[in-house]
């Protein structure tokens, strides 16, 4: 499999992200590729926070939540999906499928022997992450969920379809400018950090593909596992849940999150982050503190 690897110097001087990189190589089914992840806090912590990013971000997205979790004594594990962050990036767009990403996450979990985690997810981090208990029913002990969905074969609406079409017509999508538009008040250094993984179009195959593979029709790959996941969260889940919603999100905002809340057994009223948009983790410190308080931690 042909891939590119973003040079390390692209990740120098990341603002508020001083964390040492960790890598896994030789994951079964992904031989030859290297996956990056952040791993902070004690390995024997009572709670491990598994933080999953989406499109077109990477583990840098969790920089405002991570210190809150570690200060509370937790371990934080935040992988970069293949095609994103410091992970390797196959150059063939067709490589990136729902199954490719989901299988890589399952292989990652097995390699680190993660179980009983607090799942922290948003965007594709939830579209993929919320399906993991179908194969690993003991994986999730607690849930923190933000601006995402269970993809069961239905379109989230015209906002998503416009986004999908925009990306399809932007083979060299300017990730930094996109994040700058999406996150009011973001600094130039933060824009550069979000753009760091993608120095050229050959690094952006994963970015280009994600919108096209969201399971929005019943026969698309991932829709059936999404329906199985909905059954899990509706009928088998009884653990603590915390939901935060950025209402300025034009795609996965309050309406979609309201439907997700109904699908998660026992999900309480969400925390509404009034200034928050799609990348609500940019308001991550108060969200993380509120989640821990709700969990009694």
Instruction: Compute the radius of gyration of the chain from its Cα atoms.
Output: 17
Annotation marks residue 47 as catalytic: no
Domain ranges across the chain: 3-294
- Which of 36, 47, 278, 283 does the annotation list as catalytic? 278
Nearest to 50 by CA among 135, 173, 159, 140: 140
Confidence (pLDDT) at 207: 98
Confidence (pLDDT) at 74: 98
CB 98 within 8 A of CB 221: yes
Confidence (pLDDT) at 159: 87
Nearest to 111 by CA among 25, 19, 45: 25
CA distance 274 to 234: 27
Where the chain has pLDDT below 70, the residues are none
Backbone angles phi, psi at 98, to 5 degrees: -55, -50
- Which of 53, 123, 195, 283 does the annotation list as catalytic? 123
- Which of 80, 88, 195, 249 does the annotation list as catalytic? 249
- pTM of the predicted model as reported, rounded to 2 decimal places: 0.98
Confidence (pLDDT) at 256: 95
CB 74 within 8 A of CB 49: yes
Annotation marks residue 249 as catalytic: yes
Confidence (pLDDT) at 155: 87
Residue range 3-294 forms a domain whose CATH class is: alpha beta
Confidence (pLDDT) at 164: 94
Annotation marks residue 278 as catalytic: yes
Q: How far is CA 223 from CA 122, 157, 216, in A?
A: 18, 16, 7
């Amino acid at each position: 499999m042909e891939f590119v690897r973003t040079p390390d110097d692209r990740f120098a001087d990341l603002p508020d992200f001083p964390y040492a990189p960790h890598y896994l190589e030789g994951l079964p089914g992904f031989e030859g590729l290297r996956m990056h992840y952040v791993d902070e806090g004690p390995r024997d912590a009572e709670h491990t926070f598994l933080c999953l990013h989406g499109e077109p971000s990477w583990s840098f997205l969790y920089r405002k939540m991570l210190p809150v979790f570690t200060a509370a004594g937790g371990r934080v594990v935040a992988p970069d999906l293949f095609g994103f962050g410091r992970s390797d990036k196959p150059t063939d767009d067709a490589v990136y499928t729902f199954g490719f990403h989901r299988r890589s996450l399952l292989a990652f979990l097995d390699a680190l022997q993660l179980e009983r985690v607090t799942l922290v997810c948003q965007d594709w981090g939830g579209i993929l992450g919320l399906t993991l208990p179908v194969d690993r029913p003991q994986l999730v002990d607690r849930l923190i969920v933000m601006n995402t969905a269970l993809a069961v074969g239905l379109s989230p609406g015209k906002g998503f379809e416009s986004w999908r079409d925009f990306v399809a017509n932007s083979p060299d999508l300017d990730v930094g400018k996109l994040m700058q538009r999406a996150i009011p008040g973001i600094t130039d250094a933060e824009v550069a950090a979000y753009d760091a993984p993608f120095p050229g179009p050959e690094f952006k195959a994963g970015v280009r593909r994600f919108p096209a593979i969201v399971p929005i029709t019943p026969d698309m790959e991932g829709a059936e596992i999404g329906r199985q996941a909905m059954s899990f969260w509706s009928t088998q889940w009884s653990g603590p849940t915390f939901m935060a919603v950025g209402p300025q999100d034009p795609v996965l905002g309050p309406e979609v999150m309201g439907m997700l809340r109904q699908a998660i057994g026992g999900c309480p009223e969400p925390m509404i982050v009034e200034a928050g948009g799609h990348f609500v983790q940019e308001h991550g410190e108060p969200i993380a503190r509120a989640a821990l308080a709700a969990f009694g931690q």
